[in-house]
Amino acid sequence: GAVVSQHPSWVICKSGTSVKIECRSLDFQATTMFWYRQFPKQSLMLMATSNEGSKATYEQGVEKDKFLINHASLTLSTLTVTSAHPEDSSFYICSAFGLAGDPWETQYFGPGTRLLVL
Partner 1 sequence: AQTVTQSQPEMSVQEAETVTLSCTYDTSESNYYLFWYKQPPSRQMILVIRQEAYKQQNATENRFSVNFQKAAKSFSLKISDSQLGDTAMYFCAFMKAGANSKLTFGKGITLSVRP
- Closest to partner 1 by CB, 8 or 16: 8
Least Cβ distance, residue 44 to partner 1 (angstroms)? 5
- Closest to partner 1 by CB, 82 or 89: 89
Distance CA 65, CA 69 (A): 9
Distance CA 118, CA 108 (A): 31
| 89 binding partner 1? (CB under 8 A) | no
Distance CA 111, CA 118 (A): 23
Least Cβ distance, residue 36 to partner 1 (angstroms)? 9
Region 35-54 residues binding partner 1, contact defined as CB under 8 A: 38, 41-44, 46, 49, 51
As a whole number of Å, the CA-based R_g of the chain is 14
| 32 binding partner 1? (CB under 8 A) | yes
Q: Count Cα neighbours of 93 within 13 Å in the Cβ-side half-sphere.
A: 16
Q: Tell me the residue length of the chain.
A: 118
Least Cβ distance, residue 16 to partner 1 (angstroms)? 27
Q: Which long-range contacts (CB under 8 A, 24 or more apart) does 41-45 make?
A: 44/93
Least Cβ distance, residue 102 to partner 1 (angstroms)? 10
| 105 binding partner 1? (CB under 8 A) | yes
